[in-house]
Homo-oligomer: A and B are copies of this chain.
Amino acid sequence: MTESTTVAEATTVAVATQFDLATGLAESVPSLRRPLSAMTGMYADTAAFEAAVADGDPLTYEFYDMGVPALETEIAYGTSITYPGKVGDEYHMTKGHFHERLESAEIYFCLSGRGLMLMESPEGDVQVEEFAPGRAVYVPGRYAHRSVNTSPDEPLITFFAFPGDAGHDYGTIETKGFRKIVVDRDGEPELLDNPRWVG
């Protein structure tokens, strides 16, 4: 990256990428891997979080950035894999983000696993949709979105697509958190107020 303003150039060549439907992974492209330690401050049970990080810092999710030009006419895409597990009674989840161009929507198509898409607008409206194999979840513009794996043993694997110029705002979630958390209550997901949410 240079200091000068760069103008993204539109794609002109088709690209094919083989993903493994069983793992969600592509051998030809490096994934972005997020160990639990990347989630500091995000899980409610700090003691359980610190203990799990000290005890091997497990990979909790990974996903792909395919390097699509940041243009509204292009489509950014990839897979996202959230591994099963809990921190205390809170399910493994992605960090989640708003889009920098806030009104940009996104589609997630669940390839395997079980989970929830947790969504929240800047005004505090919360929406939740279920992931199951073959289920498409449309995230409307203006909503931060976080994938939550509610399965005891299966990775949650999704294929996602969003406008190339959407961009990512992770900072707001890093600072404030989501208003809700998803915990395991006798084997079923339950939505609770986030005790660590910064209003």
Residues of B within 8 A of A75 (CB): 75, 105-107, 138, 161-163
CB-contact partner of A19 in B13, B18, B135, under 8 A: B135
Residues of B within 8 A of A20 (CB): 134
Bound together, the chains give a CA A133 to CA B162 distance in angstroms of 22
Oligomer: number of copies:
2
Q: Does A2 contact B (CB under 8 A)?
A: no
Q: Does A21 contact B (CB under 8 A)?
A: yes
Q: Does A88 contact B (CB under 8 A)?
A: no
> For this complex, into which size category does the number of interface residues on chain A fall?
35 or more
Whether B16 pairs with A135 at a CB distance below 8 angstroms is: yes
Q: Does A54 contact B (CB under 8 A)?
A: no
Bound together, the chains give a CA A21 to CA B72 distance in angstroms of 29
User: 20 additional contacts, CB 8 Å, given A14-B129, A21-B134, A77-B109?
Assistant: A10-B103, A10-B140, A10-B141, A10-B142, A12-B142, A13-B127, A13-B140, A14-B117, A14-B139, A14-B140, A16-B129, A19-B109, A19-B135, A21-B133, A72-B72, A74-B105, A75-B138, A75-B163, A77-B161, A111-B111
CB-contact partner of A72 in B136, B138, B163, under 8 A: B163
> Chain A 125-165 against B: per-residue CB contact (8 Å), 1 yes, 0 no?
00111101111111111110000000000000001011110
With contacts A77-B161, A163-B163 known, is A135 near B10, CB below 8 A? no
Residues of B within 8 A of A46 (CB): none
Bound together, the chains give a CA A18 to CA B117 distance in angstroms of 14
Whether B105 pairs with A73 at a CB distance below 8 angstroms is: yes
Bound together, the chains give a CA A13 to CA B127 distance in angstroms of 8
Whether B130 pairs with A14 at a CB distance below 8 angstroms is: no
CB-contact partner of A132 in B15, B18, B111, B133, under 8 A: B18
Q: Does A119 contact B (CB under 8 A)?
A: yes
CB-contact partner of A143 in B14, B73, B135, B162, under 8 A: B14
